[in-house]
Structure 1
């Protein structure tokens, strides 16, 4: 029988809290369970009850928020993967045994600061005077649109002369480049991706935008809802000799991020985004089926 486990991790000291067998009744008790688990975390690290009380009184209530901290999420995912393979004793809601174990883990970020583990980092943090830092509310991220697909999207490319076609390709490519610059800034600032990861996505998108859409579909990314699916399910796996299941999925991931960005930039509607994501899903499936067929034929 599957049991739900909640893993909490402090983003400064990487101290873990592990709550297990969280059913509907225990969910209602979380406002009491979490402070109790914090007290246990402090006890594991050798923190006094007085300091514990000071911390909880100063911290106030519990709020749930979204994080883009990839280091924290990576550590949480690691703990989750390891817990899946373990037989947990669910007689206790707060798993002290595993919390002790993970409190002694070595974290690269802590090690660089001179700490051997998260328990040591916690002790050092609480030896300092406790104070609440003022939270400065950030302004919502605004996408600056330096590109303009409106006129290009309305052109009937079948009626263009050779000279007009060359001008169309040049203008579309320039707009694609401007859009990708904004895409890169958005992915790093809002989504928290590394520059290296975004660069890889852009390499995939460049082929899609400037080769497939421009030369074959003769369209912009804002007036081609089914293009992403056709690209993944047919064009990419047939035309790109280096295509593989891994590269196919990477392209699908990059396309999802592209169209989510275009939705955030008010270039496509929510309905269009939903349709495009479905085309990406089915296109990826069709592409994998084609690659499987090619692999099978290569044996003969």
Structure 2
């Protein structure tokens, strides 16, 4: 089997696992008392992260994706998602914190991984929003 065929096979297996995780995540959010629209938004954000970004170049499982948040919100999301905005970056950050809290409670990541993710989001947010502003500025030549 060639490398691309193996990559596709790995991605398909990960997408199957991701669907189960998203179903469980939705139920977890409902148990937490969130409104249906909020749950839908969080699940949509996470589906995009785990099924598009984490599988874009490599086949990265959701549980291993906590280290990729800076690359996602600080570059890839801004460049690839036509709907990127300050609000959508903040919304995705909130969804990622909730999702990885869910994965922690499920025992799929450890406490340090969750703490690292939250710190990356806290530290990265001002930089990501500044990068977005430069990206949207037609006079800016050095976006990244």
* Superposition TM-score, scaled by structure 2 size: 0.88
The match for 1:228 among 65, 69, 83 is 69
- Structure 1 238/283 Cα, relative in aligned 2: closer, same or farther at 3 Å? farther
Q: In 2, Cα distance between the equivalents of 1:258 and 1:250?
A: 12
The match for 1:246 among 87, 95, 103 is 87
RMSD of the alignment, in Å?
2.0
Contact 1:231 1:283 in 2 (8 A): no
The alpha-carbon deviation at position 278 of structure 1 amounts to 1.3
- Structure 1 192/298 Cα, relative in aligned 2: closer, same or farther at 3 Å? farther
Q: Where do 1:101-120 residues align within 5 Å?
A: none
The match for 1:177 is: 19
Q: Where do 1:1-300 residues align within 5 Å?
A: 161-189=3-31, 191-297=32-138
The alpha-carbon deviation at position 169 of structure 1 amounts to 1.1
Which SS does the other structure have where 2:49 is aligned? Answer: helix
Contact 1:217 1:227 in 2 (8 A): no
The alpha-carbon deviation at position 280 of structure 1 amounts to 2.0
Q: Which runs of 5+ in 1 are unaligned?
A: 1-158
Q: In 1, Cα distance between the equivalents of 2:64 and 2:99?
A: 14
Q: Which runs of 5+ in 2 are unaligned?
A: none
Q: In 2, Cα distance between the equivalents of 1:282 and 1:237?
A: 17
Kindly indicate which of the two structures has a greater share of residues assigned to helix: 2
Which SS does the other structure have where 2:57 is aligned? Answer: helix
The alpha-carbon deviation at position 294 of structure 1 amounts to 2.9
Q: In 2, Cα distance between the equivalents of 1:281 and 1:216?
A: 26
**Bigger relative CO (Cα 8 Å, ≥ 6 apart):** 2
Number of residue pairs aligned between Structure 1 and Structure 2: 141
**Higher gyration radius (CA):** 1
Q: In 2, Cα distance between the equivalents of 1:179 and 1:250?
A: 19
